[in-house]
Amino acid sequence: MKDLSIKKLYYSISEVSKITSMEQYVLRYWETEFEQLKPQKNRAGNRIYTNKDIQLILHIKTLLRERKYTIEGAKKIMENYSPDKILQSSESENPSDENQESPIIKREKSSIHKDLEEIKSILEFLVSKL
């Protein structure tokens, strides 16, 4: 993650774009997709981002770019988003923790497993008709 060495209360979209290495149009698009990302606007109508907004953007970026989630998949994960949890988990991430799955991941795997079983039964049915 980028070091936010200069602590400010608010950042402009151009500053956030540089901090997060994301294009401004992507940040604006993510506002339409992720309900948690709602930067305030100043009197002139310009977006003003807080440090929590920046952490949220970096989390979304990690989900989409590094972990390769789709927008819909990232939205499901973001349903339980808490900025404090993300900050704590990113600070305490250990490679040894990889074997412990979160309840969200377990639910996702279970759902995928059910879908695959259903696809398998459909394919078996189709093969039997051939």
pLDDT of 113:
82
- Burial classification of residue 16, based on how many CB atoms lie within 10 Å of its CB (0-12 exposed, 13-18 middle, 19 or more buried): buried
For 1-93, CATH gives 1.10.1660.10
Q: Kindly tell me if the per-residue pLDDT of 71 is higher than 60.
A: yes
Overall average pLDDT of the 34-52 stretch: 94
Closest CA to 61 of 33, 95, 100, 99: 33
Model pTM score: 0.60
Least confidently predicted of 22-26, 44-48, 62-66, 93-97: 93-97
Overall average pLDDT of the 54-60 stretch: 93
Least confidently predicted of 21-30, 58-67, 74-83: 74-83
